[in-house]
Amino acid sequence: MIDEIQKHILEEVADLHKVPDGAYNIRANGESAGRNTTANIDIITKKDKSGIDIHIKPGTKNESVHIPVVLSESGIKETVYNDFFIGEGADVTIVAGCGIHNCGNQDSEHDGVHRFYVGKNAKVRYVEKHYGQGDGLGKKILNPLTEVYQEAGSYVDMEMVQIKGVDSTIRTTKAELAKDATLIVHERLMTHGKQHATSVYTVELNGENSSTDIISRSVAKNDSEQIFEAGIVGNTVCSGHAECDAIIMDKAHVVAIPKLDAKNVDAALIHEAAIGKIAGDQLIKLMSLGLTEEEAEEQIISGFLK
């Protein structure tokens, strides 16, 4: 079922070189292209709308779920609803990701709605990569909506990566954290050409001693545009930190919007944002080691986005 183009995209978005171990669900051009469940992880197709429910049993340890999506036909537009139910005390890795190959002249769009219900003391590592390729006139559009509901003592670490080829993205991430829950987000983004990427976070720290750390590193090249908005609401004794660090190049446009909302005297919220071009002394140092200016730039950017 999977052709060479799709295979390449799977490698880009899910680091998959072969059929993954553990549970997986591969979606290609709007249809299921493969699924595997395990004793602890079940994947069920939704009946009322497009998408799947993923049930992870309490106490499941060291297992992974891969749910990559590939669009290789031009003109597909889909919205998919995936719900994750992560049982108490589970410790799992979830790899999602969407790759679009669009050679045609019609836009291809995948809007993934992911909801996570994270049980008490569960630990989740979530990786989501976006990738686009193909030089048709049709746009490659990804608009992910992620909702995270964390119960007491749970820990979620999210890695959101979009390095290349996606023309337009509006990423919306919402989270609600109970007592002692922690949410860490690492977002890495590179836009080029006339691409546009917006990322909006709203994290509500509702439980005592809940905490979040949202870190975004991005590079905006050419005529691209990025908007990053990090909203943290502190409703109790809690700590929140958001950081946006952006390299701006050429004629790009970068906006960083801090939004801290403290409703309790013991809510400690911090926002840091820095936007600037590549530091001249970094270029000089690498050039003095023998790199050309372009090679030096490449090294600095790839290190920055690592």
Partner 1 sequence: MLEIKDITYQVEENNKKINIIDHLNLNIEDGKFVVITGPNGGGKSTLAKLIMGVNKITTGKMIFDGEDITEKGITERANLGISYAFQQPVHFKGIKVIDLLRIAAGEKLSVSAACEYLSKVGLCAKDYVNREVNASLSGGELKRIEIATVLARQTKFAVFDEPEAGIDLWSFQNLIRVFENIRESINGTILIISHQERILSIADEIVVIEDGHVKKQGSRDEILPEILGTSAAAKAACDRLM
Considering the complex, state which of residue 181 and residue 219 has its C-beta at the smaller distance from partner 1.
Answer: 219
User: Beta strand 61-71 with 91-101: parallel, antiparallel or unpaired?
Assistant: parallel
- Report, in Å, the least distance between residue 195 CB and partner 1: 22
Location of structure tokens 């820095």: 274
- Report, in Å, the least distance between residue 254 CB and partner 1: 16
d(CA 76, CA 6): 15
Q: Residues 52, 25: contact at Cβ < 8 Å?
A: yes
Burial environment of residue 5 by CB neighbours within 10 A (0 to 12, 13 to 18, 19 or more): middle
Considering the complex, state which of residue 170 and residue 283 has its C-beta at the smaller distance from partner 1.
Answer: 283
Strand partners, 125: 93, 157
Which positions lie near partner 1, rule CB under 8 A? Answer: 217, 245, 279, 281-282, 284-293, 299-300, 302-306
Q: Residues 94, 129: contact at Cβ < 8 Å?
A: no
- Report, in Å, the least distance between residue 185 CB and partner 1: 17
d(CA 157, CA 184): 5
Considering the complex, state which of residue 18 and residue 290 has its C-beta at the smaller distance from partner 1.
Answer: 290
Considering the complex, state which of residue 48 and residue 294 has its C-beta at the smaller distance from partner 1.
Answer: 294
- Report, in Å, the least distance between residue 292 CB and partner 1: 5
User: Beta strand 267-276 with 238-248: parallel, antiparallel or unpaired?
Assistant: parallel
Considering the complex, state which of residue 161 and residue 286 has its C-beta at the smaller distance from partner 1.
Answer: 286
